[in-house]
Amino acid sequence: MGRDYQKWASGLIRGKVLFDAPMRHFTSIRLGGPAECLLFPGDVNELKKVVRFARRKKIPFFILGKGTNLIVRDKGVHGWVINLTRGMKKITMDGKVVEAEAGLPLQRVVQFSIQKELTGLEPFFGIPGTVGGGLAMNAGAWGAELKDVLLSMTLMKEGGEIIERPRSKLRFSYRGLSLSPSWIILKGRFRLKKGKKEEILERVKSYSEMRKRRQPLGSLSAGSVFKNPKEGPAGKWIEEVGLKGFRIGQAMVSDHHANFIINLGKAKAEEVIYLLEFIEKKVYQERGISLEREVKVVGEP
């Protein structure tokens, strides 16, 4: 079946198609086995073609953003991985509304709004990943969530049909958005406010400094691995049970921020997943707290 998935993908679009693409090249934590087929549709029409074809042939697929909240298992991904970062990255502005396509880095939207003297996106300064990934994860920081500034979202349904949904019709949660599994986020429209450039820059600077202080930015990671439970920050509980700096092979609980797992260089996904399970067990046994994962684990078990 794998060969068929590859055969069917070749020549389907003008955009790039990679076969047996090592996912360590496409994730911020730099690990993971190969994707049988990695497709980069050049525009929305090519994406539609890919999605329709996948539906007809029952090819499993998932959307990869910048892979900054992702652990891909060592055996890789069976089926198609679709990436919008090469073909869908336009940004436009209409008054105080900024519209950005899903493949655009979220940071480009933040920069754009600063240039245009629009306020509302400062808390998101420094969050890596794409607009699509940010919306799918309802990314957030310093008490703000991307949904707070979202006006509407454009989506592609499994048959290639395109719809626009206002925020009120979308089911966001803390670090999540409940969508039909094969729906794809195409773009987001963000409602911002007019601001003063110096004040916007001042806020960006202070968020950026906090981020530098609190996160292990120089290390290979997939961001926060657990959501913060209602009992308090996940990192605090991990630290309290003595796991800061704890290692399994080349995967280590960051000694800077315990809710980050670091790839020391040659970590396997298996080691990271084992470490996640170990943390979950220990925090539950010693504190009675169930940690829920924020990172998405994908690929063949």
Question: Which residues form the catalytic set?
Answer: 175, 224, 294
Angle between helices 197-214 and 106-115 (to 10 degrees): 150
Given 9, 17, 63, 252, the residue binding ligand FAD (CB under 6 A): 63
Given 23, 37, 51, 70, the residue binding ligand FAD (CB under 6 A): 70
Interface with ligand FAD in residues 10-29 (CB under 6 A): 28
Distance CA 237, CA 234 (A): 5
What's the closest the beta carbon of residue 40 comes to ligand FAD, in angstroms? Answer: 13
- Window of 128-136, 241-249, 250-258, 282-290 that interacts with ligand FAD by CB under 6 A: 128-136
What's the closest the beta carbon of residue 286 comes to ligand FAD, in angstroms? Answer: 27
Which of 47, 79, 44, 85 is closest to 60 using CA atoms? 79
Q: Does 114 bind ligand FAD (CB under 6 A)?
A: no
Q: Does 184 bind ligand FAD (CB under 6 A)?
A: yes
Using H for helix, E for strand and C for coil, what is the string for 176-245?
Answer: EEECCCCCEEEEEEEECEECCHHHHHHHHHHHHHHHHHHCCCCCEEEEECECCCCCCCHHHHHHHCCCCC
Angle between helices 44-57 and 2-9 (to 10 degrees): 150
Given 107, 119, 130, 154, the residue binding ligand FAD (CB under 6 A): 130
Given 41, 120, 134, 299, the residue binding ligand FAD (CB under 6 A): 134
Instruction: Give the count of alpha carbons within 13 A of 180, CB side only.
Output: 8
Q: Does 102 bind ligand FAD (CB under 6 A)?
A: yes
- CA 29 to the chain's CA centroid: 12
Identify which of residues 119 and 215 has a Cβ nearer to ligand FAD in the complex: 215
- Window of 1-9, 67-75, 108-116, 261-269 that interacts with ligand FAD by CB under 6 A: 67-75
Interface with ligand FAD in residues 196-215 (CB under 6 A): 215
Q: Does 269 bind ligand FAD (CB under 6 A)?
A: no
Please report, for residues 95, 115, 118, 160, the alpha-carbon distance to residue 196 in angstroms, rounded to integers and kept in the order given. 16, 11, 8, 41
What's the closest the beta carbon of residue 217 comes to ligand FAD, in angstroms? Answer: 6
- Window of 63-71, 92-100, 111-119, 197-205 that interacts with ligand FAD by CB under 6 A: 63-71
Q: Give ∠ CA 187-161-77 in degrees, rounded to 5.
A: 70
- Window of 41-49, 138-146, 198-206, 265-273 that interacts with ligand FAD by CB under 6 A: 138-146
Identify which of residues 65 and 195 has a Cβ nearer to ligand FAD in the complex: 65
Distance CA 89, CA 3 (A): 31
Beta bridge partners, 176, equal 173
Handedness of CA 230, 235, 236, 240 (dihedral sign): positive
Q: Does 68 bind ligand FAD (CB under 6 A)?
A: yes
List of residues contacting ligand FAD (CB under 6 A): 28, 62-70, 84, 102, 127-130, 132-134, 136-137, 139-141, 184-185, 215, 217, 221-223, 296
